[in-house]
């Protein structure tokens, strides 16, 4: 009879642990999407982000997300897509600045040509 009581107590303890973990998972992993990054920590020296008690060796700006009941770093395609979009914005800004510089150089060349003609006209009038 004592053995049964111990077995029942052990089963109850195991059940409480299992169901409490499922409850925690149900509360935290019920939706797909990014984890609130303020609830994570990142060590710049080691490059490790801790989220939900899990350690990820990822870049500082890479998010950790829910995929069903799993916590994983966001997909590499999404992460690189964001990086490429940011780089495209920067390159577009550089291109706009280069176009402005080119327009200013053309205006400067035009002014230089006009000044050169005026200097030539003055020289011709002096002779």
Reported pTM: 0.54
CB atoms within 10 A of CB 52: 15
Q: Which of 32, 40, 84, 38 is nearest to 58 (CA)?
A: 40
Q: Which of 86, 72, 63, 60 is nearest to 29 (CA)?
A: 72
How many CA atoms does the CB half-sphere of 7 hold within 13 Å?
A: 4
For the chain, 127 residues long, give each residue's pLDDT as a single digit of tens. 455 566 565 555 565 444 444 433 333 434 467 677 777 888 888 889 988 888 999 988 898 888 777 888 888 899 999 999 999 999 999 999 999 999 999 999 999 999 999 999 898 888 7
């Amino acid at each position: 009879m004592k053995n049964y009581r111990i077995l029942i107590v052990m089963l109850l303890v195991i059940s409480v642990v299992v169901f409490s973990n499922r409850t925690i998972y149900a509360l935290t992993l019920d939706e797909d999407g990014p984890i609130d990054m303020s609830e994570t920590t990142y060590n710049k020296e080691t490059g490790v982000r801790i989220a939900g008690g899990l350690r990820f060796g990822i870049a500082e700006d890479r998010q950790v997300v829910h995929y069903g009941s799993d916590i994983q770093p966001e997909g590499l395609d999404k992460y690189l897509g964001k990086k490429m979009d940011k780089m495209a914005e920067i390159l577009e800004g550089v291109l706009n600045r280069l176009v402005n510089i080119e327009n200013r150089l053309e205006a400067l060349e035009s002014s230089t040509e006009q000044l050169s003609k005026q200097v030539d006209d003055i020289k011709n009038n002096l002779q």
